Amino acid sequence: MSAPRADLERSDTRWILSTEELANSPSRRDGIKAEDEKKKRRQTVSFIEECGKKLKLPKLPVVVAETYLNRFYGLNSFKAYDRFVTAQACLFLAAKVEEKPIKLERIVVECHLVRYESRKRPLDPGPTKNNPDYVAAKNAVLEAERVLLYSINYDFDILNLLPITHFESLLRKLKDSGVRDDQPFRQQCWNFIHDSHRTNLGLQFPPKKIASACVFLAFVMLRKLPTETDRLRRIFDILSISERSLNGICDQMAELYVEMKTRYQLVADLHQMGHVTPQVANRAKAASKAASKAASKAAASDAPSSSDALRPHKKVKATTTTTSSSSPCG
């Protein structure tokens, strides 16, 4: 286990890791490729999201759990610790920190159902809660929570380090400047902020910069960026993010969407605006073409052939069904 972040400063950059630390992460040192590390993080955040829905948790504890997960695997290897058990520990801890506690039994049982959904393997604690599999799973989560607490150095002061906190402040300022705060725009901002947790952006940039970039992405996605120079300048004054940081965040979000096979048009628009590298844009373009080709092929195979259209349909003789007086229900 890696040493915890000692003597953490009370600032919004205290969980920012250096470029060298990120490139030489514990997972990379354990032989996990960069692409695989990103995939594991993305999949595990999705697992937390699904478990949060199953547990009917509010959004905030789920986001906090995702933040704990990213911090943990910034300091520890995916190879050394079962990511799904760690994810459960993150949810268990986050729910307590945000004063929405959930019994460990529910965490273990519901998260087990999400993890093994395709195998239909429910985990029954048993009438006395001494099922060996259940006891082992519960103890694994408790041990993972102890390791998690040590790794994050018991740092529970997290609200100011969440992009969602700064997002609300940005929206208020934008509204005061004349930008309409409608539900579609707000929802897109939230979607981008939530997706940012599927990456390690929170270990690279302060939360306010991530929030600003996500608001910018919502402007681009909904094509709401004003063309007037003065209005555009006011928006960027409020977002207060350098071009370098904006490009860095946009490029990694674009890369995420290429991996998720979605938002290809957004990636193309960002590239045209100069916020995405040609490498990521070309991958998105190739993936988009492949998806369109596959969709066209599927549509063609589903369409009736000309011979089928001309073939006369057979007449089906109508039959009368007689209902028996003795039904199965008695």
Query: What pLDDT digit, counting tens, does each position of 222-240 carry?
Result: 999 999 999 999 999 999 9
Which fold, 162-291? Cyclin A; domain 1 (1.10.472)
The residue behind tokens 């150095």 is 153
Contact 107, 96 (CB under 8 A): no
What pLDDT, on the 0 to 100 scale, is given for residue 328?
A: 39
Count, residues in the chain: 330
Other CB atoms within a 10 A radius of the CB of residue 220 amount to: 17
What pLDDT, on the 0 to 100 scale, is given for residue 9?
A: 53
Contact 170, 238 (CB under 8 A): yes
pTM for the full predicted model = 0.85
Is the pLDDT assigned to residue 8 strictly greater than 70? Answer: no
Report the chain's terminal Cα–Cα distance, integer Å.
66
Work out the pLDDT band at 5, boundaries 50, 70, 90: low
Instruction: Average the pLDDT over 23-44 and give the result.
Output: 97
Average of per-residue pLDDT values in the chain: 89
Alpha-carbon gap, residue 260 to 211, rounded angstroms: 21
The residue behind tokens 């991996």 is 259
Cα separations in angstroms, 54 against 57, 90, 108, 117, 236: 8, 15, 12, 12, 39
Alpha-carbon gap, residue 161 to 164, rounded angstroms: 9
Instruction: Average the pLDDT over 264-286 and give the result.
Output: 97
- Please report, rounded to a whole number, the percentage of residues in the chain having pLDDT higher than 90: 75
Alpha-carbon gap, residue 73 to 26, rounded angstroms: 8
Q: How many CA atoms lie less than 13 Å away from 163 in the CB half-sphere?
A: 29
Alpha-carbon gap, residue 73 to 37, rounded angstroms: 9
Q: Determine the CATH number of domain 19-157.
A: 1.10.472.10
Work out the pLDDT band at 90, boundaries 50, 70, 90: very high
- Lowest mean pLDDT of 19-33, 142-156, 203-217, 313-327, name the range: 313-327
Helices (H), 55-82: 59-75
What pLDDT, on the 0 to 100 scale, is given for residue 320?
A: 44
Q: How many CA atoms lie less than 13 Å away from 167 in the CB half-sphere?
A: 25
Contact 64, 45 (CB under 8 A): no
Alpha-carbon gap, residue 252 to 270, rounded angstroms: 12
Q: Quick one: which of 176, 184, 259, 244 has its CA closest to 212?
A: 244
Q: What is the DSSP letter of 10?
A: S
What pLDDT, on the 0 to 100 scale, is given for residue 330?
A: 41
Alpha-carbon gap, residue 205 to 19, rounded angstroms: 11
What pLDDT, on the 0 to 100 scale, is given for residue 101?
A: 96
Instruction: Average the pLDDT over 10-38 and give the result.
Output: 92
* 138-149: pLDDT as tens digits: 999 999 999 999
Alpha-carbon gap, residue 214 to 190, rounded angstroms: 8
* 55-79: pLDDT as tens digits: 999 999 999 999 999 999 999 999 9
Contact 65, 91 (CB under 8 A): yes
Domains of the chain, by residue range, sit at: 19-157, 162-291
Alpha-carbon gap, residue 2 to 21, rounded angstroms: 12
Alpha-carbon gap, residue 7 to 160, rounded angstroms: 18
Q: Do domains 19-157 and 162-291 have the same CATH topology?
A: yes
Please state the three-class secondary structure of 191-233 as a single string.
HHHHHHCCCCHHHCCCHHHHHHHHHHHHHHHCCCCCCCHHHHH
Is the pLDDT assigned to residue 319 strictly greater than 50? Answer: no
In the three-class reduction of DSSP (H, G, I as helix; E, B as strand; rest coil), residue 16 is classed as coil
Is the pLDDT assigned to residue 303 strictly greater than 80? Answer: no
